Structure 1
Amino acid sequence: MTTKPDDIPIRAISRHSVAYLLNSIGEILHHYKFNPLDVLILYTILHANSLKVIKDPTLDRKYGDYDTLEPDDIKQGISRSAVARYLNVPFETVRRRVETMIQKGLLTETRRGLIITQMNEYRLGSNYDIQRLNIRLLRRFLRDLSRLGIDSYEDL
């Protein structure tokens, strides 16, 4: 049985979390005009590519500025099957969509798996406008949480 924390406004936090996620996804879809499933696949690959940096505070700081992209050789690749499992999408669907995205120059296949290179023509992962928009949406989300009395992760 789950204990109900009386002092945490769980439903309100959930509403604001969903709003942040949907606003972010919506803005990305408007900006890139990609199929929504392709966006999920691409961002899953971007996330996998950045895991080494995310997990290492030194690398996270080193590659934290807009103009300091992490080199492709430190990106963690991901397999098509891992993408399919992560998104709970049939493997064949992911395989077909990934092949199309490789042909369009959106991503590259390496020995380590799929990566989105620094030089991709759509600037995925290094688009200043999208990153600034994300900061605005994140500020709004944090402001909304603060209004609920959540000022730190320790308040949860």
Structure 2
Amino acid sequence: MILEITRASLAYVRDTVAITRGQHADLLDALIFTATLDANMRPVNRDQALCALFGGVDVSAPDALRRRVSINAVAQSLRMPFETVRRRLVNMAGAGLVSIDPDGVIVPRGVVTSAVYMAEQRDRYDRGRRFYETLKALNVLDDGEAAPPTPEPPVRAANRALSEYTLRACNDLIALTGNMISSRVLLELALASTHGMDAEHLKAWTRNPTGVGRPIRGVALSPRIESSGETIRRHLLILQAQGFCRRMPGGLVATAPAALAPRLAALVEANRGNVQRLFAQLRQLGVLAAWDREVAGPQVLPAACVAARN
């Protein structure tokens, strides 16, 4: 069952990163923007009353409640070079997505109340609900007392909690390969190699990945990752050298280096704990009750949310 949780988690992270990339031309920009916003919103996330007050669709915390974060802190959180992060944040500031001053960087309230951002926010909320439904079907979530559903969908509150989980998962993947793009390629390759497998086949894949895994040609990964074929080829060569994939007659298959088996097992177990904490937090925020209500029947969304989606 833990392998099914892992695969569902990887699929969720892959899709959420793709949604977040919507307003950014580059994957790195999307992660840097998300890490910055996550750091800005920690004072709100740590206060249950503020979480509830600024958890709905329309109302976002004012800039005065957002904690500025240093460029160095963002770089360290993503395991990226300081200069890379600095340059990209300066470009985002030029585009009006962030504000930089001597005290640090902030994503202003106006950016996260724009129609574009609100539409992406709703898409991430809906993808989180599908992640929840997958885990419910697997019967792997811990029980707990759920908060009652909120009057309106707790879209912002859910996004903040989901963002923390996604960034943590991305950080673990980046630490594994040493490179963000390589990690993104490995994630896609692992999902392709295990596509459609049930629990027994997943177990068989861990024992014999090249014999059980579904091969995929490198050229097929390019449109999924939205990177050039040359970029994908370069990172596949890196992953092959690290032992994370092997070329077979029908294409490439994700593999696990024997030397990293204990570390991979620890990551899988840590992710299971992170998933349980995520959904415990979502339960306390009333998000799970809202999702259960949405599944049970149609719900009328506030006009602002409807406009953002159209």
**Range of TM-score over shorter length:** 0.7 to 0.9
**How many Å apart are 1:123 and its aligned residue?**
3.1
Number of residue pairs matched? 146
Task: Give the aligned partner of residue 31 of structure 2.
Answer: 40
In structure 2, what is the Cα distance between the partners aligned to 1:121 and 1:127?
6
Q: How does 1:61-140 map to 2 (within 5 A)?
A: 61-120=52-111, 123=114, 127-140=117-130
Aligned amino acid, residue 133 of structure 1: D
Shift of 1:115: 0.3
Partner residue of 1:152 out of 142, 151, 154: 142
CA contact (8 A) 2:112 2:118 kept: no
The TM-score, its normalising length taken from structure 2, stands at 0.44
Task: Select the structure that is richer in helix.
Answer: 2
CA 1:56–1:122: 2 relative to 1, 3 Å: closer
User: Aligned-pair RMSD on alpha carbons?
Assistant: 2.3
Work out whether 1:49 is the aligned partner of 2:40.
yes
Distance 2:73 2:101 in 1: 15
Contact 1:106 1:121 (C-alpha < 8 Å) held by counterparts? no
Query: In percent, how many aligned pairs have the same letter?
Result: 31
Long gaps (5+) in structure 1: 1-8
Query: Given that residues 60 and 112 in structure 2 are in contact (C-alpha distance below 8 angstroms), is that contact kept between their aligned partners in structure 1?
Result: no
TM-score (norm 1): 0.84
Task: Output the CA distance in 1 between the equivalents of 2:81 and 2:113.
Answer: 26
1:85 to partner: Cα distance:
0.4
